A and B are shown apart, each in its own frame.
Chain A
Amino acid sequence: MFTAITHSQIYVLDQDEALDFYVGKLGLEVNTDADLGFMRWLTVNVPGHPERQILLERPGPPALSEETAEQVRGLLTKGAMGGHLIFSTDDCRKTYEHLRGLGVEFTEEPTERPYGIDCGLRDPFGNSIRFTQPRG
């Protein structure tokens, strides 16, 4: 049967802006950035973990009709597209301070949970991102 999750996908409004955020700020690394002609295949991964990639896909034609792409953009900017990413970190508070220093806007500061310390932010488009320091 299945052995791993290799790719996940989220929608972004602008792939250059997504790179600035996911690579420039969050510190992920580019796995693949390929102009396929019909689309720009852009994936990132946690540094050192290329076995799991996130596809940063721009909604639009010809994959989606103009009308559907507009609906996706509307949902995305309302925070309703899903697109949740949850990362683990070995020091939630330190990571939080580091990213705040880079100007990242948080939706929730580090908080103790039954499963560890976690906090939340949004990417520039409305996707929800969290990172958790698992309980030791």
Chain B
Amino acid sequence: MSRAAEESNRRMLRARDAMDRSYAQPLDVPSLARIAHVSEAHFTRTFRATFGETPHRYLQRRRVERAMFLLRETDRGVTDICFEVGFGSPGTFSRTFREIVGRSPREYRKEALPVAVPTCFAKAWMRPNG
């Protein structure tokens, strides 16, 4: 691994951290590429090579993970949660949630149990695959 590759990793990690931090914001490739200090064309390709999935998919999984948290730990309504975690419409939210989790938000809520570990670990480990 060259020093250049390490620097590239850190840039991609900085963009991924921004998604973890600001997942509810309307993050797009241009803004993430700016955080990583690379061109837009370079960004998506390099992110995928570094972490094994596109930035779009990473952000979807982060948002779905936060939605799972809110469904599990609060009484908030599903539509409310959809906008809270950064989805633009309930339709997209439900479709993406089901695609990633395999159940609808309401089904998930019925079956979920609270967890007692530090949130940083819950956020990393309870994020759904897919």
Query: Which of B16, B17, B21, B50 has the largest number of chain A CB atoms within 10 A?
Result: B17
Residues of B bordering A, CB below 8 Å: 1, 5-7, 9-10, 12-14, 16-17, 20-21, 50-51, 116, 118-120
Q: How many residues of A contact B (CB 8 A)?
A: 27
**CB nearest to B73 among chain A residues:** A114
Cβ contacts under 8 Å, A122 to chain B: 13, 17
Q: What separation, in Å, do the CA atoms of A126 and B51 have in the docked complex?
A: 14
Contact A107/B6 with A74-B1, A78-B51, A118-B119 known, Cβ cut-off 8 Å: no
Residue positions of A touching B, CB distance < 8 A: 13, 70-71, 73-74, 77-79, 84, 86, 105-109, 111, 113-115, 118, 120, 122, 125-126, 128, 130, 132
Residues of A within 8 A of B7 (CB): 77
Find out whether the CB atom of B13 lies under 8 angstroms from the CB atom of A74.
no
User: B13, A73: Cβ atoms under 8 Å?
Assistant: no
- Cα–Cα, bound, A105→B11 (Å): 13
A128 touches B120 (CB 8 A): yes
Report the minimum CB–CB distance from B70 to chain A (whole Å). 14
Q: Which residues of B contact A106 (CB under 8 A)?
A: 21
Residues in B neighbouring A130, C-beta threshold 8 A: 118, 120
Judge whether B17 and A107 touch: CB under 8 Å: yes
The residue that A108 contacts in the complex, of B6, B20, B116, with Cβ under 8 A, is B20
Distance between A74 CB and nearest chain B CB, rounded to angstroms: 5
